[in-house]
């Protein structure tokens, strides 16, 4: 009986200690929660204050523009003085800017002082195609930069021989699908040819851009990719042959044209079919 009483007393004592520890643990947890809530409230208050008074757009700087007006970039970006920096979304700003066909890429960064910097990469016009009575400006990837009502006076090469359906600014030239052709093999052949011609045009324009030779060329004929030809502004026909090694051929063309002009020739055929063994056949008498 005595042993049972002692056991009960020990149990009561243990329950008392446990209850005391539990209450202390609850109080400690409550204190921690209170501190966390206080920190959250202070942080939210600070951010609200900064958002309303400090973290505002105070200056917008546009870098990377060569052809375009920086004001055009800023207006398309959607960034305005007085906006909250915390509300700016880089993806949205970039998408807004890249909606301009002449823009190849854009990025945004800002500082706590309120300065927002918009950096852009432009697409350079290197050629054009005639589309009815309109002029379609192209970059080196055959991306449509703009459609103009006229093309006279442009000092860019015109690309002839392309097969395309439409021209939408900001997109590559749209090629025909030939869905009206029943024969699937013929349909695929015609579609593949249109793709090939666009690829040759793109590689030709890029080669001229890399060789800094865009201003030298008046016309590019891609209608026969195995016999690619260009015509210079002074009337010299340049035979590239197969549309291969175009960067090397374009660089060699620039070098040889200097020699041809120095010799007084402004008409003839410059054959680069074999780039290692080029030749020039004049069709005019050398100027004295």
Domain spanning 59-122: CATH 3.10.20.310: yes
Query: Above pLDDT 90, what percent of the chain?
Result: 72
Query: Above pLDDT 70, what percent of the chain?
Result: 84
Which pTM value belongs to this model?
Answer: 0.75
pLDDT in tens, 246-274: 999 999 999 999 999 999 998 999 999 99
pLDDT in tens, 41-91: 776 666 555 545 568 999 999 999 999 999 999 999 999 999 999 899 999
Average pLDDT score over residue span 216-244: 96
Q: Which of 288, 269, 287 is nearest to 279 (CA)?
A: 269
Give the domain ranges of the chain. 1-54, 59-122, 127-282
Domain spanning 127-282: CATH 3.40.50: yes
pLDDT in tens, 18-44: 455 566 666 777 777 877 777 777 766
């Amino acid at each position: 009986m005595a042993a049972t009483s002692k056991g009960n007393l020990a149990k009561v004592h243990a329950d008392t200690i446990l209850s005391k520890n539990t209450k202390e643990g609850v109080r400690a947890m409550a204190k921690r929660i209170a501190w966390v809530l206080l920190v959250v409230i202070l942080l939210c208050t600070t951010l609200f204050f900064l958002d309303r008074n400090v973290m505002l757009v105070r200056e917008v700087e546009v870098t990377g523009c060569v052809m375009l007006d920086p004001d055009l970039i800023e207006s398309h970006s959607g960034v305005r003085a007085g906006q909250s920096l915390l509300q700016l979304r880089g993806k949205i700003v970039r998408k807004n800017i890249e909606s301009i066909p002449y823009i190849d890429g854009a990025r945004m960064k800002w500082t706590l002082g309120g300065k927002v910097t918009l950096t852009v990469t432009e697409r350079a016009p290197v050629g054009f195609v005639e589309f009815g009575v309109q002029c379609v400006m192209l970059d080196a990837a055959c991306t449509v930069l703009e459609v103009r009502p006229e093309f006279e006076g442009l000092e860019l090469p015109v690309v002839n021989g392309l097969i395309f359906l439409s021209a939408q600014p900001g997109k590559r030239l749209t090629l025909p699908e030939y869905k009206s052709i029943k024969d699937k093999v013929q349909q695929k052949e015609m579609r593949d040819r249109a793709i090939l011609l666009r690829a040759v045009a793109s590689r030709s324009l890029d080669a001229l851009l890399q060789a800094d030779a865009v201003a030298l060329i008046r016309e590019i004929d891609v209608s026969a990719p195995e016999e690619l030809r260009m015509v210079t502004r002074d009337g010299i026909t340049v035979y590239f042959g197969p549309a291969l090694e175009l960067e090397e051929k374009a660089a060699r063309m620039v070098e040889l044209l200097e020699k041809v002009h120095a010799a007084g020739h402004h008409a003839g055929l410059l054959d680069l079919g074999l780039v290692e063994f080029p030749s020039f056949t004049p069709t005019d008498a050398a100027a004295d």
